[in-house]
Structure 1
Amino acid sequence: MAEFSQGVEHEQSDGVRMSQIPIGLFIRGLLAMLLAVGLIGGLHAYLGVRLVSAPHLGAPWTTLGWGALGLLFVSIPLGFVASRRKPTLLNQVLYWTSMLWLGAFGLLLTATLVADLVGVAWGLFGTAPEPQALARGKALGVVGVVVPALAFAFLTARGRARVERVRVPIAKLGPGLDGVRVVQISDVHIGPTLDRHFLRRVVEQVNALKPDIIAVTGDLVDGSVRTLREEVAPLSGLRAELGVYYVTGNHEYYHGGAAWAAEVARLGLTVLQNEHRVVERAQARLVVAGVTDHEGGRMDPAHACRPDVALASAPSGVPRLLLAHQPRTAFLARGLEVDLQLSGHTHGGQIFPFMFFVKLQQPVIRGLATIAGVRVYTSRGTGYWGPPLRLGPAPEITELTLVAG
């Protein structure tokens, strides 16, 4: 226990040592984890009561049902551990099982809560059936809704991204750049369940649009450079006449933000870390600026998000395009004459009904909006994070055509 009196050493999977974690912070983190496990365990028990015990399935189905719930509950922490170990077949199976169940668990929980509310309303305003029949009816209804929803969500998440076409008027855009096309991808999340084959398909889709500018707005990966170097290699195939630009998202910093910035630069993309470039065509100019993730400075002080630094010395009177992973970065860009900010991060909510909780952290969920006087386009994301599911918001590649306003 002596080492804990000084702090707990944490080392990332790619060997980068991080600062010591104070013992107080370690204990608070441990308590938060135990609280989360207890809460999730209690919700599993709630599902067991409603979907297994209440319908009186009889032997051996009740025992099998509770046993399956217990194993699936255990799969969640096992999958978390497996994702941080060598990607063997066993670890891949554990991770896939945990993520599929995590998504199914969320949908089952939502559907069961709705079914219980309907049952309460039925009892208050009508003649409810016999309790056991009602319990069986609710359980069948929940399963009947959730199973096809899971299949649809899985196929949507793993399928081809939809191309969203948006025209954005830019007041100061010169004739030479009128109609310039910016193709954005965001939140690809190459990692345990999305590999180079998925990324290669995305690259092919993007290049087929023949973009003038390509913007990669963060959360490219979920893993270390050492683990995913070969998986992100197809990124080098992106082609655009006026450049391919990249900014970091929060997930890069969980696995070495500086290392990932260097790796993406090695693949030939222009990494914008609080800096800008000026692109020109037929004597018309456009500033393309980019910032590190909104919370980058919390994980790496050298990567604090600074739109003011990114646009320092940018030519006046020239339209400004800002790449920033999180939509709320627009609050930091207030008054910097940004004509359009491209963001991601939200995934559009990814799985119904959780998009409603996104508004607790971000000012917008998806699409074109004005935040703090800055026009922001927020992508639904091209991949997914966690459960390989998308129920509601489909994956997206965005083609933004900038026109003289």
Structure 2
Amino acid sequence: MTDTSNTRSADGEARTPRPRRLLYRVMRYLPAIAPVLLWAVPYWVLLHTGQRWPLPVTLTGTALFVLGLVVMPVAMARGHGRRQQDRAAVLGDSLLGGSWVLFTWSVLLGVPLRIALALAGVGEGQDRARIVTWAVLGVTAVLLAWGYVEARRVPRVRQVDVRLPRLGAGLEGLRVALITDTHYGPLDRARWSARVCETVNGLDADVVCHTGDIADGTADRRRAQAAPLGTVRASRAKVYVTGNHEYYSEAQGWVDLMDELGWEPLRNRHLLLERGGDTLVVAGVDDVTAQSSGLPGHRADVAAALSGADPDLPVLLLAHQPKFVDRAAAAGVDLQLSGHTHGGQIWPFHHLVRLDQPALAGLSRHGTRTQLYTSRGTGFWGPPFRVFAPSEITLLVLRSPHAA
């Protein structure tokens, strides 16, 4: 696993690694160039590379691409900007997801397929071009339909056994359920939320964790969708930490609502879980974006989270973003639970996520002691599609090397 934590120059100044510097430069110009690329590339591949469509087809296709290019950014701005118009957000997000899939397969399927058909001697130039167009449109339609079903269904439960060398025998088999990135938002998912909570309750978990990004919007606005979280049961504890999206929409309101729903917000603090004569430290930190939000007292502080805890005890840490793991490893944390990445959500966005995070999904090791579990997320953000990145509810079963 490549270490993407900050490095330091000889004079001690923090130096951002080259992949992240490149990412930040790209992200600076992305809002301006991305919509043009997402619509212009498919437009050229599907309509203007040898097909010679009848004029009405060309004019209709051109009008649709231009409409998409104009409507998508306007709808997203109205939906996610100051106005927070849910219908506009749904339209803009759907166009974003659709254009991303169409762009991807115009490039990855369109060009190689045309070369393959030419080498195989299939059809003339125009016939080959039209085969490519219909193939790209067909694959895009299938992936969007499948991706929509994948995004809207109740996630499958993924069970993972995690061996922690410092875990006492009394805690052998401790069951930790993890949900994250529920992203309640413009599409009303109150019924979905209730079914997710029913699934979690069926896991008979000792600890249930939510590692942030509950919703897009304020707690007052998304209360109905979040309300089923109050039905979640755990034999020992229900704990929660903030994600970056809370800091886009009155984070303290979400902290207060989760407290009201019976979840214990672990804001740079910990609790002790005892069973069979052994103890586990369950700690949590605010998201790494908390300090820049300007909210008093909000920041990610692992030292504060572990203050007063016996350093010889095993530590389970909740931190929304996987990239916090460098600090967790330095603090001697045994297992960090995170979300944030969505597993990429719509392939091949995975590769961009990897530029910013040390892990995309699953269990990984960092340093000599620390393990990181990164969930692909329970819900979805923005485009209501998941392509090659299934959502999950995770059941982590902690294993002790000292168990009989």
Q: Rate the CA distance shift 1:366–1:174 in 2: closer, same or farther, 3 A.
A: same
Check if 1:107 corresponds to 2:101.
yes
Q: Rate the CA distance shift 1:211–1:258 in 2: closer, same or farther, 3 A.
A: same
Shift, 1:196, TM fit: 1.7
Q: Secondary structure at the match of 1:333?
A: helix
Shift, 1:33, TM fit: 8.5
TM-score by length of 2: 0.86
Contact 1:218–1:249 (CA under 8 A) maintained in structure 2: yes
Match of 1:364 among 359, 363, 372: 359
Counterpart for residue 4 of structure 1: none
Counterpart for residue 82 of structure 1: 79
CA distance in 2, matches of 1:172, 1:39: 48
Counterpart for residue 156 of structure 2: 162
Check if 1:394 corresponds to 2:390.
yes
Amino acid in the other structure paired with 1:161: P
Shift, 1:232, TM fit: 1.0
Counterpart for residue 52 of structure 2: 56
Q: Which moved more, 1:114-123 or 1:237-246?
A: 114-123
Counterpart for residue 275 of structure 1: 269
Match of 1:375 among 353, 368, 371: 371
Counterpart for residue 327 of structure 1: 322
Q: Rate the CA distance shift 1:213–1:295 in 2: closer, same or farther, 3 A.
A: same
Note the alpha carbon deviations across 1:302-354, whole angstroms, 9 max, x for none: 32211111111112322110001111111111232211110111111111111
Shift, 1:281, TM fit: 2.1
Q: Which moved more, 1:51-60 or 1:261-270?
A: 51-60
Q: Secondary structure at the match of 1:157?
A: helix
Match of 2:186 among 182, 192, 196: 192
Contact 1:83–1:192 (CA under 8 A) maintained in structure 2: no
Counterpart for residue 311 of structure 1: 306
Q: Rate the CA distance shift 1:213–1:359 in 2: closer, same or farther, 3 A.
A: same
CA distance in 2, matches of 1:311, 1:365: 26
Counterpart for residue 118 of structure 1: 112
Q: Structure 2 regions of 5+ residues with no counterpart? A: 1-26
Shift, 1:120, TM fit: 6.8
CA distance in 1, matches of 2:192, 2:105: 31
Q: Secondary structure at the match of 2:330?
A: coil
Q: Which moved more, 1:378-387 or 1:314-323?
A: 314-323
Q: Rate the CA distance shift 1:275–1:380 in 2: closer, same or farther, 3 A.
A: same
Contact 1:173–1:403 (CA under 8 A) maintained in structure 2: yes
Contact 2:87–2:186 (CA under 8 A) maintained in structure 1: no
> CA RMSD of the aligned region, Å?
2.2
Contact 1:78–1:95 (CA under 8 A) maintained in structure 2: no
Matches within 5 A, 1:241-280: 241-280=235-274
Counterpart for residue 354 of structure 1: 349
State the percentage of identical aligned residues: 37
Q: Secondary structure at the match of 1:160?
A: coil
Q: Which moved more, 1:315-324 or 1:360-369?
A: 315-324
Q: Which moved more, 1:139-148 or 1:45-54?
A: 45-54
Q: Secondary structure at the match of 1:277?
A: strand
Q: Secondary structure at the match of 2:239?
A: strand
Q: Rate the CA distance shift 1:84–1:237 in 2: closer, same or farther, 3 A.
A: farther
Q: Secondary structure at the match of 2:36?
A: helix
Shift, 1:265, TM fit: 1.2
Shift, 1:404, TM fit: 1.0
Q: Secondary structure at the match of 2:129?
A: helix
CA distance in 1, matches of 2:129, 2:283: 57
Q: Rate the CA distance shift 1:178–1:228 in 2: closer, same or farther, 3 A.
A: same
CA distance in 2, matches of 1:357, 1:76: 21
Shift, 1:60, TM fit: 2.2
Q: Which moved more, 1:70-79 or 1:327-336?
A: 70-79
Shift, 1:39, TM fit: 4.2
CA distance in 2, matches of 1:43, 1:248: 32
Match of 2:195 among 190, 201, 214: 201
* Matched residues, number: 371
Check if 1:226 corresponds to 2:220.
yes
Contact 1:72–1:98 (CA under 8 A) maintained in structure 2: no
Amino acid in the other structure paired with 1:383: G
Contact 1:308–1:333 (CA under 8 A) maintained in structure 2: no
Q: Rate the CA distance shift 1:175–1:45 in 2: closer, same or farther, 3 A.
A: closer
TM-score by length of 1: 0.86
Q: Structure 1 regions of 5+ residues with no counterpart? A: 1-31
Q: Secondary structure at the match of 2:163?
A: strand
Counterpart for residue 24 of structure 2: none
Q: Rate the CA distance shift 1:367–1:119 in 2: closer, same or farther, 3 A.
A: closer
Q: Which moved more, 1:202-211 or 1:221-230?
A: 221-230
CA distance in 2, matches of 1:42, 1:360: 20
Amino acid in the other structure paired with 1:307: V
Shift, 1:84, TM fit: 4.7
Match of 1:41 among 32, 36, 39: 36
Shift, 1:42, TM fit: 4.5
